[in-house]
Structure 1
Amino acid sequence: MNGTPHNHPPLAVRISSSTEDLAVLDPLLAAASAAVGDVPALLDLAETAEAAAPKPGAGRTAFLWELLASVTAVDVAAGRVLEPHLDAAAILDQAAGFTDIRFKGVWGVFAAEAAGLHLTAEPAGGGVRLYGSKPWCSLAAQLDHAVLTAHTEDGGRAAFAVDLHARGVSFADPEWTSRGLREVPSGTVHFDGVPAVPLGGPGWYYRRPGFAWGGMGVAACWLGGAVAVARGYRESLLKSADAGREPDQIALAHLGEIDRTLTALTSYLAQTASRIDAGDLPGGQAWSEALRVRGHVAAAAERIQALVSQNLGPAPLAFDEAYGKRMADLALYIRQHHAMRDDAQLGALTLKGDHRW
């Protein structure tokens, strides 16, 4: 019951683009398939993909999400490596009025916080230097640069670009024991007087519409992982039928639920991408929509994983490496969603009147 169809090239995930337009992704998806488990190759893939990826909000947001979803459908870890690199490129593009940093090498985005760890940005000699520690920095020791957030003198937080090869940067052992995303360990990075370039000033990172767009890009990756699980399930039913075991009503009902779930999701993402490109999601409305998109996709992906796991039972988890990797990778990746806490945030915005109903 291998989750990857045999003798078939990787397929793109369609949100709204034509089949002909999606065909340009074929070489990228073939490269992603060849790079599974190979971190240097995945990092090279991220640089290659950046040249083909449109910026969010620039008229082809749906295609950007299709690219992210399609790569993740090939390998969840590949999508996990690709997404922050493209997000960093978009952030620097949005900050063009504040900096002229050239985007080169492989980038990460580190904006998480953790108890007991604190990163501050302090003025120094006409510039800014970073002091302290930043948690949840995926693949930091293998990246070239990062966009990260740090606390400022005014008590807020701001975004900065930093060279991860600079003197004063050190990497703690991630002590990564996860069974999911094994090749993408996240650990703590320490900064001791490291020069950094401000991006947009205090609060800009969170106020810009691109913050919401980036959050929806992550959801596009989750969608790709869910599509991969669904495709693997359909393939397993077809293989069983070829062997003389036709799927029963429950197996077919679950496949039907998966189909209508994914069809609804892709339609919703297509509509949302179109609204972004049309400028129909200004300011705070963009973040409300991001919470809706992320909540819908995360819940759907978890539901699809549950349905498939119930139907296929323990065998593929125990004996099918590709299936087990995909399920573990996606389960961990989705945990970037904060579930009911994000719904509570959306509820607070809805209470203030930010809704369409």
Structure 2
Amino acid sequence: MGDTVHPPFPLLVPDDTPDLDDVRAALSGADAVVGLGTDVAATLAWAVGVSRPRTPAATWELLASVAARDVAAARVLEPHLDALGILDEAAAAGFEVPVERGCSWGVFAAEAPGTRLRARREGGAWRLHGTKPWCSLAADLTHALVTAWVDDEQRQLFALDLRDPAVTARTGPWHARGLERVISAPIDVDGAVAVPVGDPGWYLRRPGFAHGGAGVAACWWGGAVPLRSALAEAARADRADQLSRVHLGRADVALWAARAVLVETATVFAAGPSASEGLRAARARTVVADAVETTLAEAAHALGPLPLVADEAHARRVADLRVYVRQHHAERDLATIGGDVATGAAGW
């Protein structure tokens, strides 16, 4: 399962952080699953049994620690925990959704040009029609939280049973060399019954929206930490030179800065909702994405092609990370951040 040597635990937070016992239990279970990440069924069975930590810090510690073991496993776990958090938020806001025990969840909120999933009331029930893009693991999950258009201007969140015969999960196109088993293809929906979760627009307005985005960044960060370990091992080798230490130093500083940002962001989020949460999450994602891309580049330059072709765990980690970090919108996110700063809507 991924690398044989795991980074120290905890990665992000002090050892006295609340909920770390739950994180330890989850990681113990993760270590016991054969083929974690590449065996989607086994990974989902494990994920369904994971207790969702109550604090952002502990949740991100769990995600980062899983990603340090296997990037694909974190990619499976993160949306499941995010969905459970959304359902808890909905219940607290008076929008409780009945949830079966033992369900595996995804969150499908992406949009694409030329395709829309629409929701309308039919015979006293909400039914979904159309196509939803980028639905990760739709053929493997039991349920998903899905955004659908209720009119030309507004989207609303719905809980959808993916086992409904009116839901068809496509198998592609998916030619990925990283996260190859985490298929993210469209679903076609022809009148499936769905349960509304919140009012129109609630999904984006809710305080926890920013938390989920930063949780993905914790996965990216944790996935890159073993590359720092590989660089450190290379820098300790008998034939190591100054350049090997430069590559290690550059990756170390980038990941250290990203860790500091994640820790501060988790602390701020735990203190309660604020108007700047979305901007703070966008900044954190950008810092982490930059650090991961720096680390990938430094590992490539320092280690050369050998581990990419001869070390299965290393090669899979690099391929998975390169696909996963592309969930970051790069310059588009920077433009959004710059727009907020330019209009005076953001401070430090």
Smaller-chain TM-score range?
over 0.9
Q: Which amino acid aligns with 2:45?
A: D
Contact 1:130 1:196 in 2 (8 A): yes
Supply the distance in 2 between the matched residues of 1:12 and 1:141 (Cα, whole angstroms).
33
User: Paired residue for 2:213?
Assistant: 215
User: Paired residue for 2:60?
Assistant: 65
User: Paired residue for 1:18?
Assistant: 15
Q: Aligned-pair distance for 1:27?
A: 4.6
Report the aligned-residue RMSD.
1.9
Supply the distance in 2 between the matched residues of 1:69 and 1:258 (Cα, whole angstroms).
17
What's the secondary structure of 1:140's corresponding residue?
coil
User: Residues 99, 305 of structure 1: CA spacing in aligned structure 2 closer, same or farther, 3 A cutoff?
Assistant: same
**1:122-271 alignment runs, 5 A limit:** 122-153=120-151, 155-238=153-236, 241=237, 244-245=238-239, 247-271=240-264
Q: Aligned-pair distance for 1:334?
A: 0.4
Mean CA deviation greater in 86-95 or 100-109: 100-109
What's the secondary structure of 1:343's corresponding residue?
helix
Contact 1:17 1:63 in 2 (8 A): no
| Cα deviation 1:320-342 (Å, max 9, x = unaligned) | 11111000100000000010000
Contact 1:13 1:224 in 2 (8 A): no
Q: Which amino acid aligns with 1:341?
A: R
* 1:320 to 2:311 alignment: yes
User: Paired residue for 1:88?
Assistant: 83
Supply the distance in 1 between the matched residues of 2:95 and 2:17 (Cα, whole angstroms).
38
Q: Which amino acid aligns with 1:257?
A: R
Supply the distance in 1 between the matched residues of 2:204 and 2:227 (Cα, whole angstroms).
33
Write out the 4+ residue segments of structure 1 that deviate beyond 6 Å after TM superposition.
none
What's the secondary structure of 1:141's corresponding residue?
coil
State the TM-score, normalized to the length of structure 2: 0.92
Supply the distance in 2 between the matched residues of 1:76 and 1:25 (Cα, whole angstroms).
17
Supply the distance in 2 between the matched residues of 1:293 and 1:325 (Cα, whole angstroms).
25
User: Residues 206, 20 of structure 1: CA spacing in aligned structure 2 closer, same or farther, 3 A cutoff?
Assistant: closer
* Identical aligned residues as a percent: 46
Contact 2:255 2:288 in 1 (8 A): no
Supply the distance in 2 between the matched residues of 1:9 and 1:227 (Cα, whole angstroms).
9
Supply the distance in 1 between the matched residues of 2:211 and 2:167 (Cα, whole angstroms).
29
* 1:98 to 2:95 alignment: yes
Contact 1:222 1:301 in 2 (8 A): yes
User: Paired residue for 1:32?
Assistant: 30
What's the secondary structure of 2:339's corresponding residue?
helix
Aligned residue among 326, 329, 345 for 1:335: 326
Contact 1:69 1:224 in 2 (8 A): yes
Mean CA deviation greater in 103-112 or 20-29: 20-29
Q: Point out which structure has higher relative CO (alpha carbons under 8 A, 6+ apart).
A: 1
State the TM-score, normalized to the length of structure 1: 0.90
Contact 2:171 2:183 in 1 (8 A): no
User: Paired residue for 1:355?
Assistant: 346
Supply the distance in 1 between the matched residues of 2:118 and 2:6 (Cα, whole angstroms).
47
Count of aligned residue pairs for this structure pair: 340
Contact 1:13 1:69 in 2 (8 A): no
For structure 1, the residue ranges without an aligned partner over 5 or more in a row are none
Supply the distance in 2 between the matched residues of 1:265 and 1:226 (Cα, whole angstroms).
11
Supply the distance in 2 between the matched residues of 1:180 and 1:12 (Cα, whole angstroms).
26
User: Residues 42, 223 of structure 1: CA spacing in aligned structure 2 closer, same or farther, 3 A cutoff?
Assistant: same
Q: Aligned-pair distance for 1:102?
A: 1.8
Q: Aligned-pair distance for 1:317?
A: 1.0
User: Paired residue for 1:79?
Assistant: 74
What's the secondary structure of 1:16's corresponding residue?
coil
Contact 1:10 1:30 in 2 (8 A): no
User: Residues 123, 82 of structure 1: CA spacing in aligned structure 2 closer, same or farther, 3 A cutoff?
Assistant: same
Contact 2:220 2:325 in 1 (8 A): yes
Q: Which amino acid aligns with 2:256?
A: T
